[in-house]
Chains A and B, each alone.
Chain A
Amino acid sequence: MAREIPYIAAVQEAIRLELERDETVLFYGQDVAPSDEDPLVQAFGRDRVRVSPISETAEIGMAVGLALAGYRPIVELLMAEFMLVAMNQVVNEAPRLRYMSGGRVKVPLVLKAGYGFTAGWAGQHTGSIYSMFAGVPGLKVVLPSTPADAKGLMAAAVRDDNPVVYLMHYLLVLEHGDVPEGDYVVPIGEAAVRRPGSDVTIVATGWTVGKALAAAEALAGEGIDAEVIDPRSLQPLDMPAILTSVEKTGRLVLADQATRHASAASIIAAEVAEHGFGSLKAPIKLVTALDATIPYSQPMEAYVLPDEAKIAGAVREVLGTAPVAA
């Protein structure tokens, strides 16, 4: 049975269910359960749910040690940017130990953080920096865009035997949607077709999925039938699903909140250029954030970000229904 709950509640439900299901699952991090009155502490005890000081390198480094010793820690990092403090742990330790040990160990852990909070939180709390992680062999990166995926991908991340960067979008946390009750897992690496269509493929991630769907609805009024695909995870990236869609539509627009040169869009564009070139009837268009730090000022913030109008404009360009910008 599904019922409508907010995205953030779906994330919390998944964590609680995983803690119940498997006693090797641990949950700790900054501001997690700061008192013994916390319901999670009441339910699972201080050994499994605990607050940590502001020590990202130790928090993530310890998660690696816990994982090597047979536990499945979920580390609450609050902001994706806080992982930058501990890039050695995120990039050099968690994903490399399995490979460097010749496969003798596994490192199952979840790094949970919010991202993309472009609501006046300025330059250091708003980034869509997932490509920094998606480019690291050994890491998995998931970007749920719906409450159901928020739950199902968290469950999958906890059960995965690899380190998973779980990025929840801070502009989506209060969005409501149908979420299945009880055990619910969304496999990592399977894209979702959010809207079937035949004229153009729009691949969108995270917060831009909703923008792309809104653009598709507006374009339907112009007789344009857009297919919207949400990869849901960037590593692994479901290229077969994207290539299949491009083969059908022959046109590709990529919507991504990340800065252009560090976007998932740029990777997908390269893959389609190499593996799907024969299907393309028009050049690929990228609708990304500009290569700029997210500004504080609201009009400037809107200026650097992709939005529904920019996505629709790009679709008209690849369909030749609008003049191509010089």
Chain B
Amino acid sequence: MARRRTSQPTARNLGAETALDLLGTMWRIRRFEERMATLHQRLLVHGLIHLSIGSEGVAAGVCRQLRDDDEIYSGHRAHGHVLAKGAPMDRVMAELMGRSAGLCRGLGGSMHLVDVDHGVMGATGVVGGNLAMAAGGALAAKIAGGDRVTVVFFGDGAVQTGYFAETVNLASLWQLPLILVCENNGMAEFTTRAEHTRVESVCDVVAPYGFDRRTVEGADVQAIWSAFGDYLHSARGGTGPYLLECRTHRRRGHYEGDPLASRNALGDAEWAQLDPIAQLEALAKRRRWIDEDRARALTAEADAEVERAIEFGRASEPLTPAQAAELVYA
């Protein structure tokens, strides 16, 4: 039978080692993206960039439980998912700088990151387009008969597309080992969710299909870890789909350079409650998993990795037109 749960204290504790890994992962994403904002402002990175500051907990809580051979599909706001899944930061940075050492040789950019070695199969710029591709990846896993799982990240805006309806129907009809991870930040591009639909919770949209689904707070990394872990365990047995809806907050605008009118202005106290890093750091300190020095060291390590990545990108040249032309057909 279908269950519907909302975020609640979980039995599954993270433990010190996992908590440190998640904190380190989130800091890597946060510092990468904060630096990306300034690189973009200084035109060292050109083009269309969407940042995920505020939802790092979803990327970390999900991807850090996956193996390299598990597939993920992402969308236009993909940096966090890709970094958390294991893509090397220097090659992600080089990609955003449009250099040949980038993950996609500088031809894909921020919205189309692919890293097959780490199971990052594709990211699409057309909202919802990744959903069916991920279902295809899950069908491939089912046919192959292993325990590989496919995860697709999407925003609440994608739920109003036809892709979502078609994919959910097929994934449930064929019982695909697909875990749908929705980052519900209440904003679709520049518009609030209330302007797009009367259905408040994404879990309610899929209710008739009867598969397991849960809504958790995106700032509660422990809840994400626990809920996703349950689904992952089940999906490894070849069942699915599952939906994990994470209520997140988009700290920046829709894209870098937009007028930022589409983000909610938050006071420091409110942001601290919605910030997955601040929340997990506080928990880790309460549990004495880390002290202030270790917390500061995690940030410093992330900063140093970002600077090394920028140097790596700068040292690489863009592809030549002839090299790029050869890649149109296999």
Give chain A's interface residues, CB within 8 Å of chain B: 26, 47-48, 52-53, 55, 57-71, 73, 88-89, 92-93, 97-108, 137-138, 140, 160-162
Find the A residue at minimum CB distance from B326: A103
Is the Cβ of B133 less than 8 Å from the Cβ of A64? yes
Q: Given A61-B133, A100-B112, A47–B143 Cβ distance below 8 Å?
A: yes
Is the Cβ of A99 less than 8 Å from the Cβ of B328? yes
Is the Cβ of B328 less than 8 Å from the Cβ of A137? yes
1/0 per residue, CB under 8 A from A, across B98-114: the answer is: 00001111111000101
Complex Cα spacing A55 to B169, Å: 9
Complex Cα spacing A220 to B104, Å: 56
Is the Cβ of A88 less than 8 Å from the Cβ of B126? yes
Is the Cβ of A68 less than 8 Å from the Cβ of B136? yes
Give min CB distance, B240 to chain A, whole Å.
14
Complex Cα spacing A294 to B78, Å: 44
Q: What are some 13 contacts across the A-B interface (CB < 8 A)?
A: A47-B142, A48-B143, A61-B135, A62-B170, A65-B136, A67-B136, A98-B327, A98-B330, A101-B112, A103-B330, A105-B116, A138-B328, A140-B329
Complex Cα spacing A162 to B86, Å: 28
Leading 9 A-B pairs by shortest Cβ distance: A65-B136, A61-B132, A102-B105, A69-B140, A62-B136, A58-B166, A161-B330, A101-B114, A102-B104
B124 within 8 A of A: yes
Is the Cβ of A61 less than 8 Å from the Cβ of B140? no
Complex Cα spacing A47 to B327, Å: 32
CB within 8 A of B132: which of A58, A100, A103, A161? A58
Of A53, A59, A88, A104, which is in contact with the most chain B CB atoms at under 10 Å from its CB? Answer: A104
Give min CB distance, A137 to chain B, whole Å.
5
Contacts of A63 in B (CB 8 A): 136
Is the Cβ of A69 less than 8 Å from the Cβ of B136? yes
Contacts of B218 in A (CB 8 A): none
Find the B residue at minimum CB distance from A101: B114
Give min CB distance, B176 to chain A, whole Å.
9
Contacts of A140 in B (CB 8 A): 329
Question: Considering only CB atoms and an 8 Å cut-off, how many residues of chain B contact the other chain?
Answer: 47
Is the Cβ of B132 less than 8 Å from the Cβ of A60? yes
Contacts of A102 in B (CB 8 A): 102-108, 114, 319, 327
Give min CB distance, A292 to chain B, whole Å.
30
Complex Cα spacing A97 to B141, Å: 20
Is the Cβ of B133 less than 8 Å from the Cβ of A68? yes
Contacts of B163 in A (CB 8 A): 57-58, 61
Find the A residue at minimum CB distance from B116: A104
Give min CB distance, B222 to chain A, whole Å.
31
CB within 8 A of A65: which of B121, B126, B330? B121
Is the Cβ of B129 less than 8 Å from the Cβ of A61? yes
Complex Cα spacing A106 to B122, Å: 12
Complex Cα spacing A61 to B133, Å: 5
List 19 extra interface pairs beyond A92-B129, A162-B329, CB under 8 A: A53-B173, A61-B136, A62-B170, A65-B73, A65-B134, A68-B122, A69-B144, A93-B133, A98-B327, A99-B328, A100-B107, A101-B103, A101-B108, A101-B122, A102-B105, A102-B108, A102-B114, A104-B103, A137-B328
